[in-house]
Amino acid sequence: MKGTIGLIVGSRGFFPAELVKEGRERILKVLEEEGLNVITLNSNEGKFGAVETLDHAITCAELFKANRDRIEGVIVTLPNFGDEKAVANTLRFSGLDVPILIHAFPDELDKMDLSHRRDSFCGKLSVCNNLVQYSIPFSLTKLHTVAPESKSFREDLNWFIGVCKVVNGLRNARIGLIGARPAAFNTVRFSEKLLENYGISVETIDLSEIFASISKLSDTDGAVKEKVEKFRTYIDTAGVPESALIKMAKFSVVVENWMKENRLIASAIQCWSAIENIYGIVPCAVMSMMSESLMPSACETDVTGVIAMYALQLVSGTPSAIVDWNNNYGDDPDKAVVFHCSNYPKSFLREPKMTFQDIISGTVGRENAYGSCAGRIPSGPMTFARVSTNDSVGIIQAYIGEGEFTDDPLNTFGGHGVVYVENLQLLLKIICQRGFEHHVAMSRSKSAKILYEAFSNYLGWDVYWHNGEEE
């Protein structure tokens, strides 16, 4: 099932009751076909299951309260004009803080008599007016009125469910921060207090505590041996010393146990250079495997970067990656090289292989730098997202957009790919002018529209949508 939503069927007294009965049955059928559980009044409650009076609103609100842990979003549907106060009161009394989609049935030109005319077109305006007065945010269907059986509404519905997943997933999200920010990376500074203000908590642990827990694990520990085998089946490890795999396995076991104990959904790790100098690996493969398992992990302690990774994952249900906007691609102003050392999830790469990290090995030695996941990102759709705390004005800001991974030739190392983004030069100017980081999260999906609605309308973030409809 895709999730559970609350359904408010609106009605106004002097409109035909048959429209309410028929409209409720139609939309329930569509919601069931789309794989959704529905919490709504029974047909013998209210007016054929619709809210029309204050008592109806209270009854529906109590039903929603009783199911608040299940309801991920609310759909308001108007088979006729609907009672704007009853709808608004239901939402206010329920105390739900979830996304809301406003839907209105269309009139038919050959059914404009008193017995069949809906006036939902007008009623939707009145409902929205009241929700604005009540300071309740809501979402709209692409078309002002639309038949629930239509392709357009089904697209609206799937878009809305994506919005619900992002909003509910980010509210009360818990992120793990492992180690201190690398001294050379002022770039990834962020405000824990601002994130907390939006319901996102950060749990910290020092690398020394991780190393202390690792010291208690033997090479023959069952969890360690199991993790070594998982690395071997996860990615090509030919040429990687057994000692390095054991170290990675121990690091992975300790980190995942700590995350489970603290109920964390994502992590950001101090990936260099203390871990290489003290422990003798790069943690890229550990992070890659977590991201592939839908526990996203970002390098260089980029907490707000992993929040963007998590948001993309919530939308697509697939792994996301953190990359650098790294190089120009020849003379093409709309193409760029994206790169990391890398910790990309293996599903991002063509023929991924574990190796040593080329850049840092020159400083710490190859023997202390095994664990990097190298490979090429194949062509396909792409959504990018960046989240950042703007501490100077006390807000969270973000940019989002879509593009393509391409198969343009590129001969380099690490995890790498070529991207095409229309008007890329404008985007780069905005990144520079607004002080965004050089890291950006990417997903092999098309999901910018969902992110924009979730970030801007429900989370209240300041969002730039590159080449987007709202811009």
Mean pLDDT, residues 157-175 taken together = 97
pLDDT at 113: 81
Q: Which of 14-18, 25-29, 429-433 has the lowest mean pLDDT?
A: 14-18
What DSSP designation does 351 have?
Answer: E
Containing 267, the helix (H) or strand (E) segment is strand 266-269
For residues 18 and 102, which has the higher predicted lDDT (pLDDT)? 102
Give the Cα separation of 458 and 388 in Å (integer): 17
Q: Which of 76-80, 207-211, 310-314, 360-364 has the lowest mean pLDDT?
A: 360-364
Give the Cα separation of 122 and 135 in Å (integer): 20
Strand 36-39 and strand 3-9: the pairing is parallel
Give the Cα separation of 292 and 319 in Å (integer): 5
pLDDT at 76 over 80: yes
Asked if 9 and 24 touch (Cβ cutoff 8 Å), the reply is yes
Residues ≥6 apart with Cβ < 8 Å to 93: 57, 58, 61, 62
Mean pLDDT over all residues of the chain? Answer: 96
What DSSP designation does 30 have?
Answer: H
pLDDT at 18: 87
pLDDT at 17: 82
Mean pLDDT, residues 367-388 taken together = 97
pLDDT at 438: 96
pLDDT category at 428 given cuts 50, 70, 90 is: very high
Give the Cα separation of 90 and 213 in Å (integer): 51
Asked if 377 and 319 touch (Cβ cutoff 8 Å), the reply is no
3-state secondary structure 377-398: CCCEEEEEEEEEEECCCCEEEE
CB atoms within 10 A of CB 328: 13
* DSSP-derived 3-state class of residue 311: helix
Tell me the pLDDT tens digit for each residue of 206-239. Answer: 999 999 999 999 999 999 999 999 999 999 999 9
For residues 471 and 422, which has the higher predicted lDDT (pLDDT)? 422
pLDDT at 440 over 90: yes
Q: 348: phi > 0 → left, psi -120 to 50 → alpha, else beta; which? A: alpha
Containing 116, the helix (H) or strand (E) segment is none
Question: By percentage, how much of the chain surpasses pLDDT 90?
Answer: 91
Give the Cα separation of 296 and 28 in Å (integer): 35
pLDDT at 471 over 70: no
pLDDT category at 111 given cuts 50, 70, 90 is: confident
Tell me the pLDDT tens digit for each residue of 112-134. Answer: 887 788 999 999 999 999 999 99
CB atoms within 10 A of CB 76: 25
For each of the domains in the chain, give its residue range(s) and CATH number, in order of start.
3-170 (3.40.50.10940), 174-465 (3.20.14)
Give the Cα separation of 439 and 398 in Å (integer): 12
pLDDT at 470: 65
pLDDT at 15 over 90: no
Containing 243, the helix (H) or strand (E) segment is helix 242-261
pLDDT at 348: 95
pLDDT at 1: 63
Question: By percentage, how much of the chain surpasses pLDDT 70?
Answer: 99
Select from 176, 187, 207, 181 the least CA-distant residue to 307: 176
Q: 293: phi > 0 → left, psi -120 to 50 → alpha, else beta; which? A: alpha
Q: Output the DSSP codes for 434-467.
A: TT--SEEEEESS--HHHHHIIIIIIS--EEEETT
Select from 99, 145, 148 the least CA-distant residue to 123: 145
pLDDT at 2: 86
pLDDT at 13: 80
